[in-house]
Amino acid sequence: MAFLDIKNVRIAGMSTAVPKRVVHNNDALKACGEEDNSKYIEQIGIIERRESLELTVSDLQVMSAERMLVDLGWEKDSVDAILCVSLTPDYPLPVNACLIQDRLGLSKECYAQDICLGCSGWVYGLSVLSSIMRDGNIKRGLLLTGDGRMTWGKGRNALQFGHAGCVTALEYAPGDEGFKFNFGTDGSGFDVVIMPQSGMRKMEYDEELIKRFDDPFMQHSMEAEMKEKEFLSFCINSVPKTINELCEHYNIDYKNCDYLVLHQANKSINQHIVEKLDVAQEKVISSFEHFGNTLSASIPITITTQLKGKIEGKNTSFICCGFGVGLSWGSVSFSTKDIVISDLIEVDDNQFENLTWV
């Protein structure tokens, strides 16, 4: 059983950057070539999403981190660790954490690594970063999550996903209650959400791929895809289960938390989970309506956009759960106090056009 209880670390702040470009799903519907999907848009509850074909996730995370450091008043050389969670790094090698250490101007003494996870990534990232900070050798760390430039093909899957880069700033805080986690994995569902031709397993460019690649209306194997029925089935079973296990193990009543923040899969999935958990509606916050599913950014984007101005300075308890591609999931219980939440940053497509990359 993967239960972790990590004390002496707290969330000092959160910040989110999204592309300025808004894609309205009603417009995107026409482009995805399928008819009569208006009912589908209603069911997923996603009105609009942010998308950029120019900005990578590191661009968004750098913007988000710059603002976070200013808002917290943290000197750059006081950050001892960065952990980047993404499925869409700028390059498979080197890892984004190294690029971002330099782009942010952080110290060369900095601990930096990537984690390759999607929708469960924020919870996983939180566990890894807080673990290395719990004994106080590292006092300040940044957890960077999100995805950019990811393509979900031509089908209606594409209507669900948005781009975002978030920062969750962690601080060593002796005596703080920290975080309580529960994790799980089911790799037998590896193909439920998959980008089939994206790694070393399948590298040949066959005729079928080339044909599809050139056709703007055909899904091809270098794009991500999701098996919706299997995904739904997984979500509505695993999520209530992991939250119940977490709460039983640590003797927490999730119905007493101030906020339940689920990964933002879509309206119908999340509603079903909430009903199953029987949590009061006012404890549940969501952002999928305007940002879609932003993978490992979805929990922090929801907190930053929905709770800014409402929880700073107050003791606020959270239950959060990330779940998805892997299949992989994690739930966490924690409280915030004196959290700093930055304003939402909207990044122009040409923000970094003067930077040259290999």
- Note the residues at the interface with another protein (CB under 8 A): 39-40, 43, 227-230, 232-234, 236-237, 268, 272, 275-276
Q: How far is the CB of 228 from another protein (least distance, A)?
A: 6
Q: Which positions ≥6 away from 76 have C-beta within 8 Å?
A: 69, 104, 105, 106, 107
Nearer to another protein, 272 or 337 (CB): 272
**26, amino acid identity:** N
**Angle at 298 (CA atoms; ends 181, 279), nearest 5 degrees:** 65
Outline where DSSP puts E strands in 46-205.
Answer: 48-50, 81-85, 111-115, 140-147, 164-172, 179-185, 193-194
Q: How far is CA 96 from the centre of its chain?
A: 15
CA-to-CA dists, residue 248 to 57, 181, 243, 255, angstroms: 36, 12, 9, 12
End-to-end CA distance of the chain: 44
Q: How far is the CB of 272 from another protein (least distance, A)?
A: 5
Q: How far is the CB of 232 from another protein (least distance, A)?
A: 5
318 forms beta bridges with 259, 334
Q: How far is the CB of 48 from another protein (least distance, A)?
A: 21
131 forms beta bridges with none
**Angle at 294 (CA atoms; ends 288, 299), nearest 5 degrees:** 75
Q: Which positions ≥6 away from 215 have C-beta within 8 Å?
A: none
d(CA 59, CA 56): 5
Count CA atoms within 13 Å of residue 152 on its CB side. 23
Nearer to another protein, 268 or 306 (CB): 268
> Tokens 């037998």, residue?
188
- DSSP letter, residue 90: S
Q: How far is CA 131 from the centre of its chain?
A: 19
274: number of Cβ within 10 Å: 19
Q: How far is the CB of 225 from another protein (least distance, A)?
A: 13
- Residue 246: asked if its preceding bond is cis (omega within 30°), the reply is no
Q: Which positions ≥6 away from 208 have C-beta within 8 Å?
A: none
Nearer to another protein, 218 or 232 (CB): 232
Nearer to another protein, 6 or 279 (CB): 279
